[in-house]
């Protein structure tokens, strides 16, 4: 086949694939889903001051913002990579999403993420993101430069093209998740929590309080609650109320629940992010982040 004809055929295949994805995308976000929010566990124990508490626990109780900053410093100093199961549910432009269960692998340097959907995938069954690896530096639109590699959920689409590059900050990505894949992980979760706390604190708008202790996924956690003057998606703050479960051993936010109201009613959920079955510093093999491992 002549080279020009081969290129034209390839473009046609890509066009067909793009149209197929557009159809799947439309079907995905016009489908009604009334799945309820999963119970977040046992009630919080409102704990009195504990004279036997260690230094970090006393900091969590007396100055939660400084505790979050120290937790981030500890993470940077001691954690290289990890595997976990992420359970998430988010309010999207189409409404409250179904609860998703995702096997996740994360390496901090270079920043790399693999997400394998185990329950309720959207357009993709797997996404790989390695910082700067697939970026389009010459793209005029900044939100289209950072790229991830996605494996379509639809089997017919996979027969045409086994993987496709997607802008992680593009409109399609924003319709499928409130947080981009380059915001995944404990360190960047702490970055975001701290960022908005600092903004609100400088404006005298922050209310950050230690509530007490509870167990999540069989692990003891401290519970911190943050209140911000949230005014909607167009405002500067991401939520009204965020409840943060800080693991007492790992000093990591292993669950975060965000709401648009003070009462944290289920119908006002903005985002639920739970991290379970966590394995830290397991020296993840490079093959885990290699698209060829998954036929992509």
What confidence tens digit (pLDDT) does each residue in 21-72 have? 444 433 343 343 445 544 454 444 444 455 446 899 999 999 999 999 999 9
* pTM for the full predicted model: 0.82
Map residue 128 onto helix, strand or coil.
strand
Q: What are the structural domain ranges in the chain?
A: 1-30+108-178, 47-78+185-285
Torsion region of 178: left, alpha or beta (phi above 0 gives left; psi -120 to 50 gives alpha): alpha
Considering only 38-42, 75-79, 171-175, 189-193, which range has the smallest mean pLDDT? 38-42
Please tell me the distance from the alpha carbon of residue 147 to that of residue 260, in angstroms, as a whole number: 30
Work out the pLDDT band at 140, boundaries 50, 70, 90: confident
Is residue 149 within 8 A of residue 163, CB to CB? The reply is yes
Quick one: DSSP state of residue 296?
-
Which residue, chain included where needed, has tokens 């991401």? 238
Considering only 68-72, 96-100, 150-154, which range has the smallest mean pLDDT? 150-154
Which H or E run contains 245? strand 241-247
User: Is the predicted pLDDT of residue 252 greater than 70, yes or no?
Assistant: yes
pLDDT for res 35: 53
Closest CA to 87 of 247, 274, 218, 254: 274
Is residue 121 within 8 A of residue 151, CB to CB? The reply is no
Considering only 121-125, 251-255, 262-266, 284-288, which range has the smallest mean pLDDT? 121-125
Is residue 46 within 8 A of residue 209, CB to CB? The reply is no
Cα atoms in the Cβ-side hemisphere of radius 13 Å centred on 236: 10
User: Is the predicted pLDDT of residue 102 greater than 70, yes or no?
Assistant: yes
pLDDT for res 5: 46
What percent of the chain clears pLDDT 70, i.e. is strictly above it? 80
Report CA 264 to chain centroid distance, whole Å. Answer: 20
Gyration radius of the chain over CA positions = 21
**49-67 burial, b for 16+ CB within 10 Å, e for fewer?**
eeeeeeebbebbbeebbeb
Please tell me the distance from the alpha carbon of residue 8 to that of residue 3, in angstroms, as a whole number: 9
């Amino acid at each position: 086949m002549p080279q020009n004809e081969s290129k034209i055929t390839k473009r046609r295949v890509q066009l067909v694939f793009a149209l197929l994805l557009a159809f799947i995308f439309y079907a995905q976000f016009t489908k009604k889903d009334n799945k309820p929010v999963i119970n977040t566990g046992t009630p919080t124990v409102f704990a009195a001051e504990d004279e036997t508490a260690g230094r970090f626990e006393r900091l969590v109780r007396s100055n939660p913002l400084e505790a979050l900053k120290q937790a981030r410093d500890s993470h940077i100093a001691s954690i290289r990579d990890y595997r976990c199961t992420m359970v998430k549910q988010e309010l999207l432009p189409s409404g409250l999403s179904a609860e998703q269960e995702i096997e996740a692998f994360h390496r901090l340097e270079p920043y790399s993420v693999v997400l394998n959907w185990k329950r309720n995938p959207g357009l993709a069954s797997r996404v790989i993101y390695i910082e700067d690896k697939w970026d389009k530096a010459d793209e005029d639109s900044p939100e289209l430069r950072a790229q991830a590699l996605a494996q379509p959920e639809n089997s017919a689409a996979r027969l045409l093209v086994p993987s496709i590059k997607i802008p992680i900050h593009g409109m399609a990505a924003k319709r499928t998740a409130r947080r981009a894949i380059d915001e995944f992980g404990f360190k960047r979760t702490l970055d975001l929590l701290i960022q908005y706390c600092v903004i609100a604190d400088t404006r005298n708008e922050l209310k950050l309080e230690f509530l007490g202790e509870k167990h999540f996924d069989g692990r003891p956690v401290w519970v911190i609650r943050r209140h911000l003057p949230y005014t909607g998606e167009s405002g500067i703050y991401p939520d009204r109320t965020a409840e943060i479960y800080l693991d007492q051993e790992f000093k990591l936010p292993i669950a975060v629940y965000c709401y648009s109201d003070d009462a944290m009613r289920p119908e006002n959920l903005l985002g639920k992010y739970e991290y379970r079955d966590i394995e830290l510093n397991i020296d993840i093999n490079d093959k885990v982040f290699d698209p060829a491992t998954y036929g992509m």
